[in-house]
Structure 1
Amino acid sequence: MQTSPRVTAVMVSSLDGAVVAGGAGSRGLSTPADRTLFRALRRSAGVVLVGAGTVRDEDYRGVRPRRPTPDDPEPGPPPPLAVVTGSADLDPGAALLTDTVTPPIVLTTGAAPARRREALQAAGADVVVLPDLAPATLLGELGRRGLHDVLCEGGPTLLGALVAADAVDELRLTLAPVLVGGPAGRIAAGPVAAEPPRGMRLAGHTADDDGTLLLHYVRA
């Protein structure tokens, strides 16, 4: 019997709930402690799941080789990036495809223009045409590939869909010690989750000297 993938979401926000700061996207909120956690989570993930909007906004590059550490002197290959896109609107010349040691998986549907899908495939992407991009379909495809440890890096629309489907098992939330204000959105957006809301339990937290708070929640 196939086990459903376990989903860990990693997000960063300001103290007042903003997920972007200035023109730097979420990178404008990231701190040294947040970046250290981010690298550690990627190192242990089986696959990184991310929405195409985040890939474009954050100018994602491809995955890099895992560096040896004292605890892991011979690391295996890095996890692939799995990009969710209904339109297949990704640049075939972007670093996501040209600067990577593991081809990205592009999860899309037959409604995406064939020329875009073909261009991404020609650039080296593993293009997967699914019947839809519902969380159950996405996670089912990753599970079929043996990718059971999913690290979701957003964006808010993708995370919102996973929350609405009650598919998030862990949340690693960084609170950056800044107030942003303005119209910036929240970490999850989209359909309303089923009632009652999914309860989460605080499994751990770390406060950095600069005021960054790293919160680790698991399903209650």
Structure 2
Amino acid sequence: MAQVRYRKLDELTDDEVYAAYEPPEPDWLRVNFVSSADGAATLEGLSGPLSGAEDKRVFKVLRARCDVLLAGSGTVRAEGYGPLVLSPDRSAWRRARGLPEVPVMAVVSRTAALDPAAGIFTEAPRRPILIVPADLPSDRTAPFREVADVIALGTGAVDLAAAVAALRERGLRQILCEGGPHVFGDLIAADLADELDLTLAPKLVGPGPIRIAAGHGDAAGERPAASEAIPLELRHVLEAGGNLILRYVRSSRGSAL
């Protein structure tokens, strides 16, 4: 097991933060979430109130490092995602490494219940991607084909394994997922997540809000067996303003880290 490093985030330079999140392999899928100390994924229905300037510094580095940002349509709507842009210094960091100035935005949706005139599509600096089930009626996806590339895979739901493969076929090999909980739950079920970057915010929310991972079978009481739990290795802990910013990697992956 790799040695766990504990650091104060405000003692690190930007270069050190970038280095702390160096992906160990060319094909890598990391998931980024914030949670309250008692496990809530949202506060007043949003993740934003749990987040702050401290973990947003890491959040922005993760965005700068990815080829494609993946998010579910529910998260896109609830959190008010706009066009995917980066600050000038983050774009400059990418240019210096031969990368496009911004990543591609990819939205996963079972129903395409989004507005094709929304800025996330019409104002995007790079053409975004909409990922939907293959059996979704064509009249649901037709309005998006003018503003996005549509990838249709799966029956009744998006086949995420096939979607990840399709993204990588486009050269989008470093994938950052920002949720929501159902997308993360589906990634876990499909054994696709290589890394979890989790900020524990110093707040108690109490009962009610969902966890960072949810399954479509939750209402029916379906739960994995203990033997199905996926082991993780903690690679570092960054502390900032009482937030614990944790980097976990699948114990069977990233052995060179």
TM-score, L = length of structure 2: 0.77
Equivalent of 2:50 in 20, 29, 33: 29
SS at match of 1:202: strand
Aligned to 1:197: 229
| Offset at residue 205 of structure 1 (A) | 0.6
Equivalent of 1:59 in 80, 87, 107: 80
User: Greater helix percent: which structure?
Assistant: 2
Aligned to 1:10: 32
SS at match of 1:68: helix
Aligned to 1:100: 124
Matching of residue 127 in structure 1 with residue 158 in structure 2: no
| Offset at residue 77 of structure 1 (A) | 2.6
Which shifted more, 82-91 or 127-136? 127-136
- 1:102-117 mapped onto 2 (5 Å cutoff): 102-117=126-141
- In 2 relative to 1, CA 166–70 (structure 1 residues): closer, same or farther, beyond 3 Å? closer
Gaps of 5+ in 1: none
Runs of 4 or more above 6 Å deviation? none
- In 2 relative to 1, CA 178–127 (structure 1 residues): closer, same or farther, beyond 3 Å? same
| Offset at residue 31 of structure 1 (A) | 1.1
- 8 Å CA contact 2:184, 2:214 repeated in 1: yes
- 8 Å CA contact 2:64, 2:94 repeated in 1: no
SS at match of 1:38: helix
Aligned mates of 1:4, 1:88 — CA distance in 2? 30
Aligned mates of 1:70, 1:53 — CA distance in 2? 27
| Offset at residue 180 of structure 1 (A) | 0.7
Aligned to 2:103: 79
Deviations 1:97-143 (A, max 9, x none): 13321121001123323223111112x11112223422211111112
- In 2 relative to 1, CA 148–199 (structure 1 residues): closer, same or farther, beyond 3 Å? same
- 8 Å CA contact 1:4, 1:140 repeated in 2: no
| Offset at residue 65 of structure 1 (A) | 4.9
Deviations 1:61-114 (A, max 9, x none): 111155236983845331111111111111112121133211210011233232
Aligned to 2:161: 136
Report the residue type matching 1:84 in the other structure: V
- 8 Å CA contact 2:116, 2:144 repeated in 1: yes
| Offset at residue 202 of structure 1 (A) | 0.5
Equivalent of 1:68 in 77, 83, 89: 89
- In 2 relative to 1, CA 193–62 (structure 1 residues): closer, same or farther, beyond 3 Å? farther
Aligned mates of 1:139, 1:189 — CA distance in 2? 19
Matching of residue 42 in structure 1 with residue 63 in structure 2: yes
Which shifted more, 109-118 or 181-190? 109-118
Q: % of aligned pairs identical?
A: 38
Aligned mates of 1:63, 1:49 — CA distance in 2? 11
Aligned mates of 2:94, 2:137 — CA distance in 1? 44
